[in-house]
Amino acid sequence: MTQLILAEAALTPEGDLGRYWLRLAQGRILDAGHGHPPETPDLHLTEGVLAPGFVDVHAHGGGGAAFTEGADAAGTVLTAHRHRGTTTMLASLVSAPIPALLDQAERLRPLVETGELAGIHLEGPWLSCAHRGAHEASLLSDPTPEAVSAVLEHQAAELLRYVTLAPELPGALEAVARLQAAGLVVGVGHTGADVAQTRAALSAGASAATHLFNAMLGLHHREPGPPLALLEDSTAFLELISDGVHLDPEMVRYVWHSAARNGGPRRLVLVSDAMAGAAAPEGRYALGTLNVDVADGVARLQAPDGAQGAIAGSAVTLAEAVRRSILDAGIAPGEALMAATANPAEMIGLADVGRLLPGGRADLVLLDPAWQVNSVMRRGRWLGEAPGPGPQTDAPAG
């Protein structure tokens, strides 16, 4: 059975918002096109914006659960994010000893093999102690040749897609080259690197910034850090946590326009960096071995009374990051939506999500005029309530 959907405003594969139709069958997009559909649509969306389901390449948890807690908990995380529009996720794992990380990855294998998860992101343990953020200091280590071999020669390596590391650590540049050669995306992050060390990592094969500006040196005039090298590189993907907490909306706007002038807006990748407290009530949650308190929409490491802990992941979903980028940072809606769909898919090499093209997955998000998620379809099925059929008065015959 096929279903024809016509949207008056959809994110086209080119990144514009325009009239677009889709024919769906068996969880996939069978056919799609601009303008008038070939026959009367089964569903005509006259309000809001239809977009591909969101793709989040950096998230640790949500719905009260975390990816480090095994497959059942991961199912809770995926459900929480899906109902808020994110239909494709990598599971980000925080720093731990290598054997423990590989064990956590193996426990998620069933979800990767069935396509519920797009793969695994190792955020650590090869990170700078001085820029560790919410990673436990005692669990950080250097990317020695032996450590890299331990990862790449383990069967869990086939589940991995993305590794974040600090390029100034001993052995890091060789590690970047080996990880990239093994087909993994390498992101520069949680780092004390300077401009030159960051450029060296990009030359060695790194292709992304893990949450640009957070947990790294900034754009200081005498001490420019990784952002300068990453912004100047015309191909590196730039993760941004546009939650109104990790980055000022003014900085989101500056980075956006700077990257757009140098390589184009396709380099921008919105991520949630969500921890367990995203899409869940506020309170105390675990992030790896550390406690994180979520209050007033901000996740912070547990701190003694009166003190303020470091920000530790976010409490937002990708949909909220899109909304804030558009409404607070003034990003063009088409560009903000591409940064949550096509761009992250391209960053980690997923061909069948992120764009409404024939052959792609039937993963859809319908946003209302205030950029809130109204309805979500994953693999051809509406989660929760399907959108209403709407008026079908102007459906042309051909």
The sheet carrying 283-287 orders its strands as 283-287, 290-295, 298-301
DSSP state of 93: E
Distances (CA, A) of 194 to 96, 134, 167, 266: 25, 21, 9, 25
Nearest-angstrom CA–CA distance, 211 and 272? 10
In 3-state terms, what secondary structure has residue 122? strand
In 3-state terms, what secondary structure has residue 313? coil
AA letter at 12: T
Binding site per annotation, positions for Zn(2+): 123, 190, 211
Distances (CA, A) of 205 to 37, 152, 264, 371: 44, 16, 20, 36
Site of tokens 């450590």:
147
Dihedrals phi, psi of 169, to nearest 5 degrees:
-70, 150
Binding site per annotation, positions for substrate: 134, 214-215, 222, 246, 311-313
Q: What is the H or E stretch that residue 32 is in?
A: strand 28-34
Q: Give the catalytic positions in this structure.
A: 273
